[in-house]
């Protein structure tokens, strides 16, 4: 005999939330929570294992979401192989669940692969974090963003510049929804516990007296010349303040591959550490004097926390973090980086501004839009 809960579950509309990387799981967590509250919707979490498990171990428990309903273990592959395999795997998952909608986020290989798998099956796609553009078409992420946006039925933009980008590309405004930044929802939820931690002290660092540095982008770590240039720049920075570097698995692999291990020997002022969990990482940012990164997510997090950020790239798909937030583009030239660090550290009374709509309510807005659409 079917009980009441089984019957209710049977009539809920199935949604697949497909992610594959740590930043996207963090941003999707708040969406899952919001959708789960809707009695007419039944969200399922799907994890493609795009990143090495060291980046996502314990993350679901930390974010208070269940383990994935479907999981593909990480396999080391080229970007092309990975995208193809994830698309095929997602196709099988879509066949299994027959969802009303597939929801993807961001700009990674999983995003575009899952979107392609869905549209091939005539399943509508909702893309969270739509419309972001660096206008650097050499970036794999830029291609993923554009393709996914043009495949999607519902496009959720985190900022009005992203809305404008989509309209310029001819996407019908009826498909575009401004709901804000789901990353803000998750960050605000864990901020208090991160503040209490002072995780920096575990690595003999003192609040306000160190810099956090992260880098993993293809342009920065996939050639020996570029990676060595950055590692040398970091050692120049340690003459100003100690630097803590949570090393991404991709970066760690390439440091070994290019025989650059000599640059990551720990010292009193250089602290290379393994990837840390999300709350500990936010704690590191909160207590830092500054963040140096090539990560789009970290650009947003530092803006939300009011911490100065230097982006070691020549562009960003998140320009709102520059003209509304705390972010500055500096490229990878050591002299420019050092000059900007000194300039920012000498600045007084800098009042941070959080972009419009980054208020912790993005997921509930997205959930309402999806509920009314499926």
The reply to whether 30 and 103 lie within a common domain is yes
* HSE-up of residue 124 (Cα within 13 Å, Cβ side): 12
Q: What is the pTM of this model?
A: 0.94
The reply to whether 267 and 138 lie within a common domain is no
Q: Which domain holds residue 101?
A: 4-180+359-371
The reply to whether 136 and 217 lie within a common domain is no
Q: Is residue 352 part of a domain?
A: no
- Determine contact, residues 224/304, Cβ cutoff 8 Å: no
- Determine contact, residues 65/34, Cβ cutoff 8 Å: no
The reply to whether 143 and 226 lie within a common domain is no
The reply to whether 202 and 99 lie within a common domain is no
CA-CA-CA-CA torsion sign (200, 291, 325, 294)? negative
Q: Is residue 313 part of a domain?
A: yes
Q: Where are the alpha helices (DSSP H) in 169-223?
A: 182-197, 218-221
CATH number at residue 85: 3.40.50.2000
The reply to whether 174 and 150 lie within a common domain is yes
The reply to whether 117 and 214 lie within a common domain is no
pLDDT (tens digit, 0 to 9) for every residue of the chain, 374 residues total?
A: 444 445 556 789 999 999 999 999 999 999 999 999 999 999 999 999 999 888 998 999 999 999 999 999 999 999 999 999 999 999 999 999 999 999 999 999 999 999 999 999 999 999 999 999 999 999 999 999 999 999 999 999 999 999 999 999 999 999 999 999 999 999 999 999 999 999 999 999 999 999 999 999 999 999 999 999 999 999 999 999 999 999 999 999 999 999 999 999 999 999 999 999 999 999 999 999 999 999 999 999 999 999 999 999 999 999 999 999 999 999 999 999 999 999 999 987 667 789 999 999 999 999 999 999 99
The reply to whether 209 and 146 lie within a common domain is no
The reply to whether 29 and 127 lie within a common domain is yes
Q: Is residue 351 part of a domain?
A: no
Residues serving a catalytic function are 216
The reply to whether 36 and 84 lie within a common domain is yes
Q: Is residue 80 part of a domain?
A: yes
Q: Is residue 21 part of a domain?
A: yes
Rounded to 5°, the CA angle 143-251-317 comes to: 30
- If one counts the domains in the chain, the total is 2
């Amino acid at each position: 005999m079917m009980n009441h809960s089984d019957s209710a579950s049977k009539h809920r509309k199935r949604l697949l939330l497909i992610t594959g990387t740590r930043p996207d799981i963090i941003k999707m967590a708040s969406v899952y929570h919001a959708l789960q509250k809707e009695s007419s919707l039944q969200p399922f979490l799907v994890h493609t294992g795009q990143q090495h498990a060291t980046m996502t171990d314990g993350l679901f428990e930390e974010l208070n979401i269940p383990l994935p309903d479907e999981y593909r273990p990480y396999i080391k592959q080229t970007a092309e192989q990975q995208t193809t395999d994830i698309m095929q795997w997602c196709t099988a998952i879509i066949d299994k669940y027959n969802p009303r909608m597939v929801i993807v986020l961001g700009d990674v290989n999983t995003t575009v692969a899952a979107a392609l798998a869905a549209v091939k099956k005539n399943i509508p796609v909702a893309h969270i974090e739509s419309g972001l553009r660096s206008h650097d078409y050499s970036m794999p992420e830029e291609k993923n963003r554009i393709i996914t946006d043009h495949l999607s039925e519902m496009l959720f933009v985190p900022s009005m510049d992203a809305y404008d980008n989509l309209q310029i590309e001819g996407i019908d405004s009826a498909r575009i929804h401004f709901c804000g930044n789901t990353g803000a929802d998750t960050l605000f939820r864990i901020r208090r516990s991160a503040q209490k931690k002072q995780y920096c002290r575990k690595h003999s660092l003192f609040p306000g007296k160190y810099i956090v540095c992260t880098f993993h982008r293809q342009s920065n770590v996939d050639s020996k010349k570029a990676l060595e240039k950055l590692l040398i720049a970091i050692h120049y920075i340690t003459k100003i303040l100690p630097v803590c570097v949570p090393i991404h698995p991709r970066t760690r692999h390439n440091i070994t591959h290019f025989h650059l291990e000599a640059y990551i020997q720990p010292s009193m002022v250089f602290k290379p550490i393994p990837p840390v969990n999300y709350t500990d990482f936010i704690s590191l940012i909160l207590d830092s004097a500054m963040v140096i990164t090539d990560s789009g997510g970290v650009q947003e997090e530092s803006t939300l926390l009011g911490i100065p950020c230097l982006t070691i790239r020549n562009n960003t798909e998140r320009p709102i973090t520059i003209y509304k937030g705390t972010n500055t583009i500096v490229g990878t030239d050591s002299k420019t980086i050092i000059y900007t660090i000194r300039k920012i550290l000498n600045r007084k009374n800098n009042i941070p501004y959080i972009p419009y709509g980054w208020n912790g309510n993005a997921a509930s807005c997205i959930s309402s839009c999806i509920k009314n659409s499926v």
